[in-house]
Amino acid sequence: MAIKKKKSKKVNLKKKKGLAKIATLTTKSISSAFSNYKKNKELEKIRIIKLQKLEEKNQILKERKDLKLWEERLNKESNKLNAIEFELRNKEKDLKIKDEKQKFEQDRLVKKDEHLTQVSKDLIDKEKKLKLYEEQQNRKDIDLKVREDEQKIKELKDQRRKNRELKQLKEEEQKKQNLEFLRIKEWEEKFDREKKNKRTSRKSSRTKT
């Protein structure tokens, strides 16, 4: 882009110099034409004075014809120069517009590039933050899983301990019940024996009587 800009500047300078030269030549040619015209007019006056009677009518007609031709020639040259100058001015305007468009486009592309660079940086920063967040979240998930596993193991151990204790309590309770049952049974057997013995003793006493 910088090389194109330099080339366009060089072309503008060359065209401006060419315009200046054409303008200078145009001014000189017009000045020279008017100067020649004045000289010819003076000479024609002298000739008219000298040859008034002989060539007055012819000279006047010739001068008019020459003047008309000269004016037509000057008008043609002036029109050509005006057309060339107008064309050059239009070209210069077109080049100026193109330069402005190129400059605007270059500025737009620079801004767009800066914007894309900033967007890329922002995306990289967001990706880094997201990655960091994911790593932190993974660590938290791992920690939570470890704690949950530890809690499950602890609860399982507690449950096993409670089951053992409950089992032990049940066994002890069963032992107590068994002992109580045995005591009752022994007491009943003893009661029955005593009762039986009493009956036997009553019967023997009756027999003796």
User: Residue 78 class from Cβ within 10 Å (0-12 exposed, 13-18 middle, 19+ buried)?
Assistant: middle
The one-letter code for the residue type at 89 is R
Q: The tokens of 81 are what?
A: 């120069």
The average pLDDT across 60-85 equals 85
Q: Please tell me the distance from the alpha carbon of residue 72 to that of residue 75, in angstroms, as a whole number.
A: 5
Question: What are the tens digits of pLDDT across the range 180-194?
Answer: 888 888 888 888 888
SS3 1: coil
pTM: 0.31
Extents of the domains making up the chain? 2-124
What whole-number percentage of the chain has pLDDT above 70? 77
Look at residue 23 in the predicted model and tell me its pLDDT: 52
